């Protein structure tokens, strides 16, 4: 008797959009990428990006995520699916003098992004442009679509997570095993 074949999870709409966008970069589809950088134009590329949206309400999110992807990848030869959320991406930007929380410009940009009640498209474009100019990994495009689709959720969980990703340092498994000598009792990991 053989075991049933493992089921492969269905990719999310954001993951399918990211695969399509990365394929445009790999195939050197510069015309379609340029069309995505013109947000007001009703082009085939823009409408195709919107077609990945799971609902009519999220179509603008998918169009704008494709716009941000195309802005980041202007002139790039290799696609980047991104990694982490916008807070983590902002944590990676800066100069040798300071990155993330040590960079006043990155702090101000994060503050403007997470303070917005409506999706802050202009500030997100600025964040993507900063990631591009600093030659750092952009946010996960798939995750970005999911986050922006949930932007107005009660309690603002997306904004909280982005701020937390920006301000909270990452720890390696080795550092979690050691407790600083000055740590109060009860605060050990």
Backbone phi, psi, residue 95, to 5°:
-120, -175
The yes-or-no verdict on residue 148 having pLDDT over 60 is yes
Instruction: Look at phi and psi of residue 4 and say left if phi exceeds 0, alpha if psi is from -120 to 50, else beta.
Output: beta
Rg (alpha carbons) of the chain, rounded to whole number: 19
Render pLDDT for 100-110 as a digit per residue (tens, 0 to 9): 889 999 999 99
CA distance 81 to 58: 20
| Count of Cβ atoms closer than 10 Å to residue 92 Cβ | 20
Q: Cβ of 143: how many Cβ atoms within 10 Å?
A: 21
pLDDT at position 7 is 79
Higher pLDDT, 132 or 1: 132
Handedness of CA 82, 83, 84, 89 (dihedral sign): negative
pLDDT beyond 60 at 1: no
pLDDT at residue number 56: 95
Range from 44-58, 99-113, 167-181 carrying the lowest mean pLDDT: 167-181
**Cα atoms in the Cβ-side hemisphere of radius 13 Å centred on 47:** 4
Task: State residue 146's pLDDT score.
Answer: 95
d(Cα 132, Cα 91) in Å, to the nearest integer? 13
12-35 mean pLDDT: 95
Q: In this predicted structure, what is the pLDDT of residue 182?
A: 42
Pair 105, 99: CB distance under 8 Å: no
């Amino acid at each position: 008797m053989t075991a049933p074949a493992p089921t492969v999870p269905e990719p999310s709409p954001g993951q399918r959009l990211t695969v399509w966008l990365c394929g445009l970069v790999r195939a050197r589809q510069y015309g379609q990428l340029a069309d995505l950088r013109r947000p007001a134009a009703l082009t085939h590329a823009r409408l195709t990006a919107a077609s990945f949206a799971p609902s009519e309400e999220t179509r603008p999110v998918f169009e704008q995520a494709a716009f941000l992807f195309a802005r980041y990848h202007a002139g790039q030869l290799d696609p980047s699916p991104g990694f982490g959320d916008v807070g983590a991406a902002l944590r990676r930007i800066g100069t040798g003098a300071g990155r993330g929380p040590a960079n006043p410009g990155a702090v101000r940009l994060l503050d403007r992004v997470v303070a917005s009640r409506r999706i802050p498209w202009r500030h997100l474009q600025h964040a993507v442009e900063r990631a591009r100019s600093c030659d750092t990994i952009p946010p996960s495009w798939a995750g970005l679509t999911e986050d922006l689709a949930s932007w107005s959720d009660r309690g603002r969980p997306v904004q909280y997570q982005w701020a937390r990703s920006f301000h909270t340092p990452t720890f390696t498994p080795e550092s979690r095993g050691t407790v600083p000598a000055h740590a109060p009792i009860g605060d050990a990991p």
